[in-house]
Structure 1
Amino acid sequence: MKIIKADTREQFKRFVRFPWKVYSKNSPWVPPLISDAEGILSENKNPFWLHAKKQLFLAYDDNNNVIGRIAAIIDYNYITFQYDKCGFFGFFECYDDTEAAGSLLSATENWLKEQSIDRMIGPMNPSINDECGFLSEGFDIPPSLMMVYTPQYYLRLVEQYGLKKVKELYAYDMDISEASRVGRLERVIAAAKKKLPTLKIRTMQESSFEEDLKVVKSIYNRAWEKNWGFVPWSDEEFAALASKLKILIIPQMVIIAEVAGSPVGMLISVPDYNYVLKKINGRLFLFGVFKFLYYRRKIDSLRLMIMGVIKEYRHKGIEAVMYEKGLKNALKIGYKHCELSWVLEDNIMTQCSAEMMKGRIYKKYAIYGNKVFSNQDFSSQKQCDFKNKNKES
């Protein structure tokens, strides 16, 4: 068994395609589009790499077969914003092989040490604004759009290496068709409208799509500022995300809350296109396009992927008003289920909101880390020197 840096085009292709060897056709795993998987890792296509860098690793057996993969990642925006000289491991996939997994994690750790990083957490694929975590509960259920599915033995492999769980994420399942749910919100909604007479709830408009996207970015970066692991979207990253989601978003499912004409909150739900991706197995060629168009009409589930209110307007019932609008619109369109994900284990307010909507936790995800390499002083000047030095290299 050997670990090599995946630096050639052929090695890159092997890195991208390896998950198809880990998961059987009967697995709940949903294959991503190969073009999307390549794009996420491409420095020419993903603006995340404008402020980050990576090293890909592959594990080979004695017969030159790939048996595992991992990426070492440094996000300089995370380091600057969180004031935490922490690196990530991501895109981890491996057979149930303790030696291979340990060697991959060790290669990542050593590379991060060489870049003057103090510790590592993960998986981040490649950041907390993307897919992250290992699935820790709910292994018999397919993942929703932009959520991971990983085998249960991954937890054992990383724990045997010495990593510990540092944060847990929850996914809630909600039955949209249960009409009584809207009634449970009426009292909270009435109080919110009384406190905030200028509160207005609207949906995204196709005619002002670009302007509304700027509103979404502004609310996101303000509402999540103090969340664990948060990193603001850069203009380039948000433009890329908007371009990707533009064909997926249904305007009626993008809810924007305004007070006195100023945006203060948003709720974004997208159809669970994983139902379609499962059918086309990573390839959107001629027959894949036909399958996409056919199965897209059969999607009956949503993923509520973003919901937030800026700090000054929290605890005033705005969340409930947005929930009601989103539920009514989803019912009109014909959706039956919604996944609210992901929610931090210590985000009590959102958990209470989900439970008020009769949501139940049906999946959990774990982020691992806490293996500290060093405890060097990280003053503001050293932080700037560190970032500049490594970006130059």
Structure 2
Amino acid sequence: MMQLIEVNDRKTVREFLDLPRKIYAGDPYWIPHLEKDVEAVFSPVKNLQFQHGESIRWILKDDAGDVIGRVAAFINKNLAYTFDRPTGGMGFFECVKQKEAAFLLFDACKNWLEARGMEAMDGPINFGERERFWGLLLEGHGKYPPYLMNYHPVYYRELFESYGFKNYFYQFVYQILTDTILPPVIERKINRLTETEGYRFEHIQLRDIEKYAEDFMTIYNKAWGASRENFSPMTKKQALSIFSGMKRVIDPELVIFGYHRDTPVAFFINIPELNEIFRFVNGKLNLAGKLKFLYYRWIRNCRTIYGIVFGIIPEYQNRGLESALIMTLQRIVAKKRRYQSMYITWLGDFNPKIIRIVEHIGATRAFTLATYRKMFDENAHFERHPVVN
């Protein structure tokens, strides 16, 4: 008989963290997430979501006492009630190729969420921001995933869909070479923006990190708040937390902000693709892991940029700022001669306009992930994520 065990002590935390090594044994493209990044999600001290939410984790053992699955469930109360039906989340799912085991884990999430008034669950997602641990990998196996992106066995898709999860939206990761030549019409448009229309584009300065965090919050709330009914505004505290957390991995010249006569109107946030180095530390940033990180960072500079997110406030959209942000970054990168390609990540299929722009500048799709939704009432009406106009 299988045994579901709540993760609530050092032993079960260790078993929760160790299971992926069993699931992905023999897969040369799997890179373990840093354990400290995973554990930060479940820390009430480090994760601000606990101020208005709760979470739980389980591991699953077989008859022999071996761990064969794990999962987490959570509720963000600021978000859950903004949908047509109260919706919780599940994520950090890992399981052997056994439908009975997977369904037991899914049932645990469903029952826990239902007991707290939820009528649906999204997954696999993060108990936090979307730029990490979000979505089920559908396409892109056979290549190293970017830092903080989920990576899964092919068979997970069948486990989710056979349980009744439906595709709420796709999210895409695109890749472009940094020496890609933009179409002349885009070059002319960008030059006009900066020379005659009062725009400027700049990379951040770490000494002014609080200023840029506040500018990020301003743009984010205007850009996302205008396009999503289920939007929870970012606070200054959250913005500072995000930027403070990025300081250890950031190259300030890769974080671009756009201003119109000193008003912050756009951003494009990138980091070095650290999985090119983290794949050598085996998920652990203990002393040995830190030494490996420093060693490989010294002998193997990151050659890829990882674009986390970009945003433009509504009244400044459709003016070419998307291309201007990317071109500004390309010009900076060309001078450094360090980076060879760039991932542009987290493009939802509900935003076809931005996808068209990214494809127009020469980017190609590298990974496809899906965010699923499971309605607890099988007869309940299901709708995919609305398209952003």
Task: Identify whether the pair has TM-score above 0.5, normalized to the shorter chain.
Answer: yes
| Structure 2 CA distance for aligned equivalents of residues 150 and 187 of structure 1 | 42
1:122 and 1:133 in contact (8 A); partners too: yes
Structure 1 letter corresponding to 2:214: K
Structure 2 letter corresponding to 1:51: H
2:125 and 2:135 in contact (8 A); partners too: yes
| Structure 1 CA distance for aligned equivalents of residues 65 and 45 of structure 2 | 29
SS at match of 1:364: strand
Counterpart for residue 325 of structure 1: 328
| Structure 1 CA distance for aligned equivalents of residues 219 and 255 of structure 2 | 13
Counterpart for residue 380 of structure 1: none
CA distances 1:269-324 after superposition (whole Å, capped 9, x unpaired) = 11001111100001223332222123224210011111111011100111222111
Structure 2 letter corresponding to 1:317: G
| Structure 2 CA distance for aligned equivalents of residues 12 and 233 of structure 1 | 30
* Residue 158, structure 1, aligned to residue 152, structure 2: no
* Residue 187, structure 1, aligned to residue 194, structure 2: no
1:48 and 1:237 in contact (8 A); partners too: no
Counterpart for residue 143 of structure 2: 141
The change in CA–CA distance for 1:229 and 1:134 in structure 2 (over 3 A counts) is: farther
When the two structures are aligned, how many residues end up with a matched partner? 374
| Structure 2 CA distance for aligned equivalents of residues 245 and 182 of structure 1 | 33
Unpaired runs of 5+ in structure 2? Answer: 381-389
Counterpart for residue 315 of structure 2: 312
1:78 and 1:84 in contact (8 A); partners too: no
Deviation at 1:375, TM superposition (A): 9.5
- What is the aligned-residue RMSD (CA, Å)? 2.1
Counterpart for residue 220 of structure 1: 220
* Residue 343, structure 1, aligned to residue 347, structure 2: yes
Structure 1 letter corresponding to 2:269: I
CA distances 1:333-374 after superposition (whole Å, capped 9, x unpaired) = 221010100101121221112112200112100111142339
Percent identity reads 29
Structure 2 letter corresponding to 1:21: K
Counterpart for residue 197 of structure 2: 197
| Structure 2 CA distance for aligned equivalents of residues 356 and 116 of structure 1 | 45
Deviation at 1:253, TM superposition (A): 1.2
| Structure 1 CA distance for aligned equivalents of residues 295 and 183 of structure 2 | 32
Structure 1 letter corresponding to 2:347: V
The change in CA–CA distance for 1:262 and 1:82 in structure 2 (over 3 A counts) is: farther
| Structure 2 CA distance for aligned equivalents of residues 68 and 256 of structure 1 | 42
CA distances 1:150-183 after superposition (whole Å, capped 9, x unpaired) = 11100011112121212111110111123x2274
Structure 1 letter corresponding to 2:13: F
2:255 and 2:268 in contact (8 A); partners too: yes
1:39 and 1:46 in contact (8 A); partners too: yes
Deviation at 1:131, TM superposition (A): 2.0
CA distances 1:371-390 after superposition (whole Å, capped 9, x unpaired) = 233999xxxxxxxxxxxxxx
The change in CA–CA distance for 1:55 and 1:13 in structure 2 (over 3 A counts) is: same
| Structure 2 CA distance for aligned equivalents of residues 89 and 278 of structure 1 | 26
| Structure 1 CA distance for aligned equivalents of residues 147 and 321 of structure 2 | 26
Higher helix share: 1
Deviation at 1:254, TM superposition (A): 1.2
Deviation at 1:201, TM superposition (A): 1.3
The change in CA–CA distance for 1:165 and 1:287 in structure 2 (over 3 A counts) is: same
SS at match of 2:279: helix
TM-score w.r.t. structure 2 length?
Answer: 0.90
| Structure 2 CA distance for aligned equivalents of residues 135 and 142 of structure 1 | 12
The change in CA–CA distance for 1:126 and 1:241 in structure 2 (over 3 A counts) is: same
The change in CA–CA distance for 1:73 and 1:258 in structure 2 (over 3 A counts) is: same
Structure 2 letter corresponding to 1:215: D
Counterpart for residue 73 of structure 2: 72
2:209 and 2:243 in contact (8 A); partners too: no
| Structure 1 CA distance for aligned equivalents of residues 80 and 335 of structure 2 | 44
Deviation at 1:146, TM superposition (A): 1.9
For residues 246-257 of structure 1, the aligned pairs below 5 Å read: 246-257=247-258
Of residues 301-310 and 20-29 in structure 1, the stretch that sits farther from structure 2 once superposed is 20-29
